[in-house]
Chain A
Amino acid sequence: MSRKFTWFNATALTLGFAFLYLPMVILIIYSFNESKLVTVWAGFSTKWYGELMQNDAFLSAALVTLKVAALSSTFAAILGTMAAYVLVRGGRFMGRTLFSGMIYAPLVMPEVITGLSLLLLFISIGLDRGIFTIVLAHTTFAMCYVSVVVSSRLVTFDKSLEEAALDLGCSPFDAFISVTLPIIAPAVISGWLLAFTLSLDDLVIASFAAGPSATTLPMKIFSSVRLGVSPEINALSTIMISIVTVGVITASLISKRSIGQRERDEQAALKQ
Chain B
Amino acid sequence: MNFRRLFLIATPYFWLLALFLVPFLIVFKISLSDTAIAIPPYTPTLDLSGGWASIKSFFSELDIENFIFLTEDSLYWKAYLSSLQIAGVSTLLTLIVGYPIAYGMAQSSDSWRPTLMMLVILPFWTSFLIRVYSWIGILSNEGFLNQFLQWIGLTSEPLTILNTNYAVYIGIIYTYLPFMVLPIYSALEKMDGSLIEAAEDLGCSRLSAFWLVTFPLSRPGMIAGCFLVFIPALGEFVIPSLLGGSGTLMIGKVLWEEFFNNRDWPVASAVAVVLLLILIIPIILFQRNEQKQREADQ
Contacts and interface: CB of A to CB of B under 8 A. Distances in A.
Interface in A194-215: 197, 200-201, 203-204, 208
A140 interface: yes
B135 A244 contact: no
B246 interface: no
B283 A108 contact: yes
A121 B107 contact: no
Nearest to A120: B26
Interface in A14-55: 16-17, 19-21, 23-24, 26-27, 30, 38-39
Contacts of A16: 97-98, 100-101, 104, 177, 181
B197 A9 contact: no
Interface stretch (B10-18, B53-61, B69-77, B149-157): B10-18
B133 A221 contact: yes
Given A13-B108, A79-B15, A240-B126, A113 B276 contact: yes
Nearest to B124: A197
Interface string B197-233: 1000000001000000010000000000000000110
Interface residues of A: mostly helix, strand, loop or mixed? helix
Given A1-B214, A19-B97, A116-B268, A39 B256 contact: no
B49 interface: no
Interface string A79-121: 1101101100010010100110011011011111100111011
Interface in B138-195: 138, 140, 142-144, 147, 174, 177, 181, 188-189, 191-195
Contacts of B104: 8-10, 12-13, 16
Contact of B193 (A1, A121, A237, A248): A1
Interface residues of B, number: 93
Contacts of B234: 110
Given A9-B103, A12-B101, A225-B242, A102 B252 contact: no
A241 interface: yes
Contacts of A124: 26, 40
Nearest to A123: B40
Interface residues of A, number: 83
B146 to A, nearest CB: 9
A110 B16 contact: no
B126 A112 contact: no
A203 B97 CA distance: 27
A252 interface: yes
Contact of B256 (A19, A112, A139, A197): A112
A19 B107 CA distance: 20
Counting chain B CB atoms within 10 Å of each CB, the highest count among A3, A147, A249 belongs to A3
A110 B114 CA distance: 31
B237 interface: yes
B16 A140 contact: yes
B131 A108 contact: no
Interface string B1-32: 00011001101110111011111101100100
B279 A240 contact: no
A66 interface: no
Given A140-B19, A226-B242, A90 B193 contact: no
B269 A120 contact: yes
Contacts of A170: none
Contact of A83 (B12, B236, B272): B12
B190 to A, nearest CB: 8
B255 interface: yes
Interface of A: 1-6, 8-10, 12-13, 16-17, 19-21, 23-24, 26-27, 30, 38-39, 79-80, 82-83, 85-86, 90, 93, 95, 98-99, 102-103, 105-106, 108-113, 116-118, 120-121, 123-124, 136-137, 139-140, 143, 147, 172-173, 197, 200-201, 203-204, 208, 218, 221-222, 225-226, 228-229, 233, 237, 240-241, 244-245, 247-249, 252, 256
9 contacts: A1-B192, A2-B197, A13-B105, A16-B97, A99-B13, A108-B232, A116-B268, A173-B4, A225-B133
Interface of B: 4-5, 8-9, 11-13, 15-17, 19-24, 26-27, 30, 40, 97-98, 100-101, 103-109, 114, 116, 118-123, 125-131, 133-138, 140, 142-144, 147, 174, 177, 181, 188-189, 191-197, 206, 214, 231-232, 234-238, 241-242, 252, 255-256, 259, 265, 268-269, 272, 275-276, 279, 283, 286
